[in-house]
């Protein structure tokens, strides 16, 4: 198995200027397609698997966040497609429960492509693929529409969870890890944020520090390297200080593993 180099990827600020701010930035590391967040003001990109979104660009619709990459990320004109991994969930106020599939559905389309609909049970639905340009840059905005429950004219206000993965048509590039879009439909910001925090705490396996899908000794080594290098990713308890408590928390999480 390939050992992924750990992120953050440092990308020259000149090239970062080409990436659309606020989009989900895609990068390929050691043959794996990975999702990342947009760069911070220092030009550093860190792995992120939970993204916020909000309907209402037009009623029940948004095409943000889009997907963007630097030039040369993908082979020229190769394609990247998406899969919906599970049925849509709505936020209970406490959790996104496994048994609580939303009555609403999200439809994904782009121009003539699609629509692809979230399934009504937990099956994988393959959507459509889009091409990187001749410079290997992938920048597209999918359109997401929240559809009402059958028989209703309007979808209910709420916070909705969509689980996706991305795949390349290049066999050398592996499918991304699952990632999540947390959509807000007219609920208070605090409620949206609570749902995002829950996904980060409960669905992202933080012990898998190098995000390659397994918890093993490489995660420990990579954490120790980040910790020794005072890398921002070593702030495991997210209190903005890197200290021994981060080490203790990482070791505790690592020992526990992930489901
Ligand atoms: Ca790992
Ligand atoms: Ca800390």
Q: Where are the domains of the chain?
A: 9-204, 205-259
Q: How confident is the model at residue 35 (pLDDT cuts 50, 70, 90)?
A: low
**How far is ligand 1, taken at its centre, from the CA of residue 205, in Å?**
9
Classify 90 in phi/psi space as left (phi over 0), alpha (psi -120 to 50) or beta.
beta
Over pLDDT 90: what percentage of the chain?
61
Ligand found nearest the CA of 208? 1
Per-residue pLDDT at 16 exceeds 80: no
What digits encode the pLDDT tens for the residues 50-65? 999 999 999 999 999 9
Backbone dihedral angles phi then psi of residue 198, each to the nearest 5 degrees:
-65, -45
What per-residue confidence (pLDDT) applies to 5? 34
**DSSP 8-state symbol, 253:** H
Quote the CA–CA distance of 150 and 132 in Å, as a whole number.
37
What per-residue confidence (pLDDT) applies to 30? 56
> Does residue 100 or residue 63 have the better pLDDT?
63
What per-residue confidence (pLDDT) applies to 3? 38
**How far is ligand 1, taken at its centre, from the CA of residue 3, in Å?**
9
DSSP characters over 43-96: SEE-B--EEEEES-SBTTEE--S-EEE-TTSS-TT-EEEEEE-S--EE--SS--
> Does residue 116 or residue 99 have the better pLDDT?
116
**How far is ligand 2, taken at its centre, from the CA of residue 222, in Å?**
16
The lowest-confidence range among 3-12, 139-148, 181-190 is 3-12
Ligand found nearest the CA of 246? 2
The structure's pTM equals 0.78
Ligand found nearest the CA of 242? 2
What per-residue confidence (pLDDT) applies to 205? 82
List the end-to-end C-alpha distance of the chain, in Å, as a whole number.
21
**How far is ligand 2, taken at its centre, from the CA of residue 234, in Å?**
7
Across residues 199-203, what is the average pLDDT? Answer: 86
What digits encode the pLDDT tens for the residues 140-185? 999 999 999 999 999 999 999 999 999 999 988 888 878 999 999 9
Report every protein residue that has its C-beta within 5 angstroms of ion ligand 2: 235, 237, 239, 241, 246
**How far is ligand 1, taken at its centre, from the CA of residue 1, in Å?**
11
Average pLDDT, the chain: 85
Per-residue pLDDT at 138 exceeds 80: yes
What per-residue confidence (pLDDT) applies to 172? 86
């Amino acid at each position: 198995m390939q050992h992924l180099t750990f992120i953050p990827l440092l990308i020259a600020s000149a090239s970062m200027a080409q990436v659309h701010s606020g989009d989900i930035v895609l990068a390929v590391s050691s043959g794996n397609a990975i999702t990342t967040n947009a760069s911070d003001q220092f030009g550093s990109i860190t792995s992120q698997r939970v993204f916020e979104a909000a309907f209402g660009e037009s009623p029940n619709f948004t095409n943000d966040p889009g997907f963007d990459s630097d030039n040369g990320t993908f082979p020229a004109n190769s394609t990247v497609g998406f899969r919906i991994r599970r049925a849509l969930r709505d936020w209970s106020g406490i959790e996104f429960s496994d048994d609580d599939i939303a009555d609403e559905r999200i439809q994904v389309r782009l121009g003539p492509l699609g629509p692809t609909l979230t399934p009504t049970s937990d099956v994988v639905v393959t959507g459509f693929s889009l091409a990187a340009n001749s410079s290997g840059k992938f920048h597209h905005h999918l359109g997401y529409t929240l559809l009402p429950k059958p028989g209703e004219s309007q979808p209910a206000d709420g916070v909705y969870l969509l689980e996706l993965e991305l795949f390349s048509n290049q066999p050398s590039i592996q499918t991304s890890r699952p990632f999540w879009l947390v959509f807000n439909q007219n609920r208070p910001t605090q409620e949206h944020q609570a749902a995002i925090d829950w996904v980060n705490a409960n669905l992202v396996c933080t012990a898998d520090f190098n995000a390659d899908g397994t918890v093993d000794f490489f995660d420990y080594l990579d954490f120790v390297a980040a910790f020794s290098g005072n890398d921002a990713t070593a702030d495991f308890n997210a209190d903005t200080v890197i200290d021994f408590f981060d080490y203790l928390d990482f070791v505790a999480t690592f020992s526990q593993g992930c489901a």
